[in-house]
Amino acid sequence: MNANSQPIKLFLVVAFSCTSLLVSLTPVLAKPTQNRSDAKTTVAQATTFNQPPIPLGPPPGGRVRGGAKRGPVGTLAACPPTKPDLTALVPFTEEDNSVINVWAQTTVERPSWFFYVPYTKDLPYTVEFVLQDRDSNEIYKNAIALPDKPGVIRVSLPTTAPALAVNKQYRWFFTINCDKQKNSPPTFVEGVIQRVELNPATVKELQTPELLKRYALYGQKGIWYEALMTLAELRQKNPQDAALQAEWRNLLGSIRLNDIATEPLLLETPSSAK
């Protein structure tokens, strides 16, 4: 063997060893990782909320944020200012004439509303949820308990309340009175909800047991209340899931409520005051 053959032989041994190592690693590197977040991430990337246009007729108007309001001359709102303010988790539009329209759709007879409440139960404030038909007739009214800490609470229409009729609009109010004598104006939010029917093909798709798929379908069809409710239920079942937290931020960010997206979700809070 000459002097040059030893380096060549060593090079071939090293090259063969590296090739063998790469071959042995290839199946590991190429094999897709099966974990809990795969499906969530895929759905999150594909989910968009398609806000439907405002229905024909008088614009719904409304108020998505509470905040301190001045009352009659010489009086001030009793509710202290907070940041964020009382907020309804509902889509809204701002028109050229500075009119805000707070409006969204549901498919169920008795939906749930979500509100960010900045005040807590240790304060002597009274809270009320009211639902009216289009002629301002009261459909449902209930006193609401303030939460233990500031956060997002759920208010659901109970089975004892009248069911929402299809294609009819209803106006809701969520009001906090911070003055026992009610001499000062309350802080409140309000908007319009309309129940609609989905086509049979979509109804069949929604029969899937996978909540993430249901959430995505509701978002694509512009059904706000069920999209929000489904995602809230998923977060309740998986409170530490980072992918679901990101999707929650994405959904609320899509309706310009980014400041509410990181607030606690208090679904265990009783909705009715004792």
Report the distance separating Cα 106 and Cα 97, nearest Å: 28
Task: Answer yes or no: are the C-beta atoms of 251 and 218 closer than 8 Å.
Answer: no
Report pLDDT for 271.
Answer: 60
**Element (DSSP H or E) covering residue 38:** helix 37-46
**What pLDDT shows up at residue 83?**
93
Better-predicted residue by pLDDT, 117 or 74: 117
pLDDT range class, residue 9, cuts 50, 70, 90: very low
| pLDDT exceeds cutoff 90 at 265 | yes
pTM of whole model > 0.75? yes
Q: In the predicted model, what is the mean pLDDT of the chain?
A: 82
Residue 33: predicted pLDDT = 33
CA distances from 181 to 36, 89, 95, 110, 272 (A): 53, 29, 36, 33, 21
pLDDT for position 129? 98
Q: What is the pLDDT of residues 210-247, one digit of tens each?
A: 999 999 999 999 999 999 999 999 999 999 999 999 99
CA distance 177 to 195: 29
Instruction: Spell out the residues 6+ positions from residue 234 whose beta carbon is closer than 8 angstroms to its own.
Output: 211, 212, 215, 241, 244
In a domain, 270, yes or no: no
pLDDT at site 36: 39
Number of domains in the chain: 1
Specify the pLDDT at position 98: 72
Whether 3 is in a domain gets the answer no
Whether 24 maps to a domain, the answer reads: no
Instruction: Give a yes or no: residue 273 inside a domain.
Output: no
Q: What is the mean pLDDT of residues 169-188?
A: 92
- Residue 263 confidence (pLDDT): 97
Residue 232, domain extent: 39-253
1 assigned to some structural domain: no
Question: Residue 46: its pLDDT value, please?
Answer: 44
Ranking 5-9, 29-33, 81-85, 148-152 by mean pLDDT, the lowest is 29-33
Measured in degrees and rounded to the nearest 5, phi and psi for residue 233 equal: -65, -40
**144-173 pLDDT per residue, tens:** 999 999 999 999 999 999 999 999 999 999
Residue 266 located in a structural domain: no
Name the helix (H) or strand (E) containing 29.
helix 5-30
pLDDT surpassing 60 at residue 132? yes
The separation between CA 209 and the C-alpha centre of its own chain, rounded to angstroms, equals 20
Q: Is the predicted pLDDT of residue 41 greater than 50, yes or no?
A: no
What is the model's pLDDT at position 121?
A: 94
270 pLDDT more than 80: no
Is residue 216 included in any domain, yes or no?
Answer: yes
pLDDT band at 48 (very low <50, low <70, confident <90, very high): confident
CA atoms of 269 and 175, how far apart (whole Å): 17
Tally Cβ neighbours within 10 Å of residue 240: 7
Tokens of 244: 């679901």
Mind listing the pLDDT tens digit for each residue in 58-109?
899 999 999 755 555 445 667 988 999 999 999 999 877 778 999 999 999 9
Q: Which CATH number covers residue 67?
A: 2.60.40.2550
pLDDT digits (tens, 9 = 90+) for 199-210: 999 999 999 999
